[in-house]
């Protein structure tokens, strides 16, 4: 990729500007925007709900429209893995590890079976 723009320092400019500044600025804006916001206020509950829905949107995007190798897995198998994870999570009393292992088992097992 660095040969595209030639110089050796180009990737570092990319990382500093398109990477560091483009992500870190949101954290700084967040610090200033939080101002005097109180933990027990309704505004705080709303901001938390927005943050939660945003992350949920990322989760859905990572599963349904993934880049790279996960995209080679059929979409029904990806959804089956997520569903299996939820079942495993609920069956074993809301245990994080149970959900993750079940989902991975369905995905890896299912795909290995298909190949």
Partner 1 sequence: MTSSDMDIDEGEDPSEFEGGAYWFRQGAKGAFCLPTLILMMAFVGFTSLAREVGLTLTEVLLMSLFMWALPSIVVLTGAMSAGAGLIPAAIAVALSAVRLMPMTVALMPVLRDEKRTKTWHMLIVSHFVAVTAWVFAMRNLPSMPRAARLPFFAGFGSTVHFVVLCSTALSYIVLPAVEGPIAAGLVLLTPIYFMFSMYQASRTSGDRAALILGLILGPVFYHFFPGADLLLTGFVGGTVAFAGWLFATRRAEL
**Smallest distance, partner 1 to C-beta of residue 98, A:** 9
Q: Check if the beta carbon of residue 84 is closer than 8 Å to that of residue 106.
A: yes
For the record, the structure tokens of 15 come out as 């990382």
Q: Which residue has the tokens 């320092």?
A: 9
Question: Is the CB of residue 110 less than 8 Å from the CB of residue 82?
Answer: no
Which listed residue (79, 83, 91, 108) binds partner 1 by CB under 8 A?
Answer: 108
Least Å distance between CB 91 and partner 1?
13
Structure tokens at 37: 């916001």
Tell which positions 63-92 bind partner 1, by CB under 8 A: 63-70, 72-73, 78, 81-82, 85, 89
Q: Report how many residues bind partner 1 under the rule CB under 8 A.
A: 77
Q: How far is residue 115's CA from residue 112's CA, in Å, rounded to a whole number?
A: 5
- The footprint of partner 1 on residues 28-47 (CB under 8 A) is 28-34, 37-39, 42, 44-47
Residues 2-31 vs partner 1: string with x where CB under 8 A? --xx-----xxxxxxxxxxxxxxxxxxxxx
Residues in the chain: 115
């Amino acid at each position: 990729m660095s040969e595209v723009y030639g110089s050796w320092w180009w990737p570092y400019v990319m990382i500093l500007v398109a990477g560091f500044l483009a992500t870190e600025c949101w954290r700084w804006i967040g610090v200033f925007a939080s101002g005097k916001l109180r933990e027990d206020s309704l505004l705080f509950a709303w901001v938390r709900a927005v943050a939660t829905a945003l992350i949920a949107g990322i989760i859905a995007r990572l599963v349904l429209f993934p880049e790279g190798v996960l995209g080679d897995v059929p979409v029904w198998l990806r959804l089956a893995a997520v569903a299996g994870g939820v079942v495993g999570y609920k069956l074993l009393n809301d245990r994080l590890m149970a959900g993750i292992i079940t989902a991975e088992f369905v995905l890896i097992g299912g795909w290995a079976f298909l190949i």
